[in-house]
Amino acid sequence: MSTIKVNTIQSNTTAGVDVNSPLETVPSIDVTGSASIGGGLNVTGVVTATTFSGDLTGNVTGNATGLSGTPNITVGNIIASSATISGNVSVAGTLTYEDVTNVDSVGLVTARTGVRIDAGGLVVVGVTTVAAGSVSAPSITPTDDSNTGIFFPSADTIAFGEGGSEAARFDSSGRLLVGTSSARSNFFNTTISAGIQLEGLGDTNRLLSIVSNTNDAFSEPNVILGKTRGTSLGSNTVVQSGDPLGSVCFQGADGSEFVEAASIKGFVDSTPGANDMPGRLVFSTTADGAASPTERMRISSNGQTSYFTTSGIGNRIGHAASAGTSSPLIQGGHSASDIANMTTSFYVWTNGNVQNTNNSYTIISDAKLKENIVDANSQWEDIKAVKVRNWNFKEETGYETHRQIGPVAQELESVCPGLVFETQDRDKDGNETGKVTKGINTSVLYMKAVKALQEAMERIEQLEAKVAALEAA
């Protein structure tokens, strides 16, 4: 064994160790001064040193500031309140630290307060354990931003803090919560075990924005809702007719829970097959005083659109153009090849005019649908009493003001009250104003006129017969 030159080897002395010979083995070294090893030192026990340089194997405890090694320092354990390491240190056991600089490779790290890596990076082979932290002091943070990072508020929960406030978390059920720390127990009218919940405060929050940056004219951002009947991930079992495929629900808090106010849902609309997935869209709203939505509009797989209204106006169609025949309010046609190309056969114009190609307006009139069929009473006196007027609409009504001909509802009502009806006036939102507007069933008036004409024809024929008899006498 080579000679180890030391002033003293004992506790609480300021001494040094100078080893210039090849690697030596000693039980332990406790030096409060400094130790310099020229040839190497293998310590089977514990090295406690204020500063230490050279090649070392063994354990280091205490203040390891100034610890350096060329080419490397290899130790079993480092236990230090602080350590400034200029070389590379390979720790076979456990590195327990409060602050460590320039650590390249460690076996297992158990953290007390933090670690600083200035160069080279930190490679951990094993498990890194950190404190739970808090929203104001996350346990994993970036340099010089101690209130932003990752913390662990409870078991099986990972949270992300930003500027001292929680931004998002994965809770113990696997839900991603953004802008809130608690999941809605009745979100989508059911208790969910996984999903995404986004919450924001104020009208400037945009909770979800999807933007596609591409020069491709046929690419766009999209959201896909899909379903299979498989019982496991990757099991693409074919869905069946009537299966719901996805929904977008709109909810509002009624004071106790979130209740669905409206929804848009997709369904399988017939029996699917290979490269065959018929679908329909259903639009639903919840009526005032109700607690669940009702289907209001359906677009079937063949494009048929159906509506259902329980009150108010069934369908309202508005046009920005003024009254006239230059802008159609409704256009219909046949022989269509798509949504835009067809042969037009029917128009409703903004002034209310109805135009079709054959001037035919029909009614359902099959005898199999009718009963109590008898001849109508005389309409002679009614038609004779009808006042046919010339008039025009007032300009402030917004209707066309050209000269027109026809009866006035209030005047006709005194003669044929059954031909006059009333409609409730409504404001722009469809609410009743308490006033009414009178209208006339002109189609019935025309039938009364036909009956009166028949009576007139009969009288004319009788007079013609009398005239003929007088002329023959």
DSSP codes of every residue in 208-243: -------S-TT------------SSTT--PPP-TT-
Confidence at 254, pLDDT banded by 50, 70, 90: confident
In the 8-state DSSP scheme, what is residue 450? H
* pTM for the full predicted model: 0.66
CB-based contacts of 79, cutoff 8 Å, min separation 6: 59, 60, 61, 62, 94, 96
CB atoms within 10 A of CB 100: 26
Q: Is the pLDDT of residue 20 over 50?
A: yes
Helical ranges in 342-416 per DSSP H: 380-385, 409-413
Q: Is the pLDDT of residue 49 over 50?
A: yes
Pairing verdict, β 279-285 and 258-268: antiparallel
With residue 452 as reference, give the H or E element that holds it. helix 442-472
Bridge partners (DSSP) listed for residue 244: 267
Better-predicted residue by pLDDT, 23 or 398: 398
pLDDT at 31: 60
- Angular region, 263: left φ>0, alpha ψ -120 to 50, beta rest: beta
Of 195, 198, 188, the residue nearest 259 (C-alpha):
188
What are the pLDDT digits (tens) for 398-412? 889 999 999 999 999
Among 87-91, 187-191, 197-201, the minimum mean pLDDT is found in 187-191
Question: How much is the average pLDDT of 93-112?
Answer: 56
Q: Is the pLDDT of residue 208 over 90?
A: no
Bridge partners (DSSP) listed for residue 43: 26
Q: Is the pLDDT of residue 314 over 80?
A: yes
pLDDT at 311: 84
Q: Looking at mean pLDDT, say which of 16-25, 107-116, 353-362 comes out highest.
A: 353-362
Q: Is the pLDDT of residue 180 over 60?
A: yes
pLDDT at 126: 72
Confidence at 127, pLDDT banded by 50, 70, 90: confident
Question: How much is the average pLDDT of 58-74?
Answer: 54
Q: Is the pLDDT of residue 359 over 80?
A: yes
Question: How much is the average pLDDT of 71-94?
Answer: 59
Q: Is the pLDDT of residue 67 over 80?
A: no
The hierarchical CATH code for the domain 377-472 is: 1.10.10.10
Number of H helices, E strands in the chain: 3, 33
* Distance (Å, whole) CA 314 – CA 102: 75
